[in-house]
């Protein structure tokens, strides 16, 4: 049976836990990165920003305008920091979880969406199997034979 090809929208997944840097100022500039992430998302969508803002408004039960989205995307407009609820709503309506994942890795976390948790579980199980196989190999190389079956 031929190996199934990955879906073109699936980004590569490695089962390696992200680590947050413990260096001073590790999160300095995060506001700018968030604004850049908003810009990346907005530049990737094909629908008018007014439509995206309307979808966010419905999801949040709060008014979001195109002008707000434009302001959130500008790192120069420090007075227009993106509230987390609005950033998450933008991710949700555009389905750009990949952009959220990049930001989450800055704090030592990762984003899995829907059934991707199964892929992560496969990775976890594979690591467990590999570890068990290494232990089995070590034991086979050094374990003594058990006394024979002759009990006279």
* CB distance 64 to 89 below 8 Å: yes
Predicted pLDDT at 15:
56
The tens digit of pLDDT for each residue in 94-127 reads: 999 999 999 999 889 989 898 888 988 898 899 9
Residue that wins the pLDDT comparison between 125 and 13:
125
Residue pair 124/15 in contact by the 8 Å Cβ criterion: yes
| pLDDT reported for residue 1 | 40
- Tell me the mean pLDDT in the region 131-149: 90
Q: What angle do CA 52, 110, 132 make, to 5 degrees?
A: 150
Give residue-wise pLDDT tens across range 54-88. 999 999 999 999 999 999 998 776 666 899 999 99
| 57 Cβ contact partners less than 8 Å away, ≥ 6 residues apart | 63, 64
Residue 96: how many other CB atoms lie within 10 Å: 19
Residue 6: band (very low, low, confident or very high) from pLDDT cuts 50, 70, 90: very low
Q: Can you say whether the dihedral through the CA atoms of 39, 43, 46, 49 is positive or negative?
A: positive
């Amino acid at each position: 049976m031929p190996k199934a090809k990955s879906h073109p929208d699936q980004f590569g997944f490695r089962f390696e836990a992200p680590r947050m840097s413990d260096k001073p100022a590790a999160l300095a500039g995060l506001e700018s990165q968030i604004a850049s992430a908003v810009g990346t998302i907005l530049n990737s969508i094909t629908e008018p920003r007014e439509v995206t803002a309307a979808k966010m408004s419905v999801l949040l039960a709060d008014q979001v305008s195109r002008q707000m989205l434009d302001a959130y995307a500008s790192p120069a407009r420090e007075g227009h920091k993106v509230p987390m609820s609005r950033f998450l709503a933008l991710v949700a309506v555009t389905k750009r979880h990949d952009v959220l994942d990049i930001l989450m890795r800055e704090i030592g976390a990762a984003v899995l969406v829907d059934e991707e948790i199964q892929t992560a579980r496969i990775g976890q199980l594979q690591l467990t199997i590999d570890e068990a196989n290494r232990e089995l190999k070590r034991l086979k190389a050094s374990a003594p034979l058990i006394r024979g079956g002759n009990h006279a």
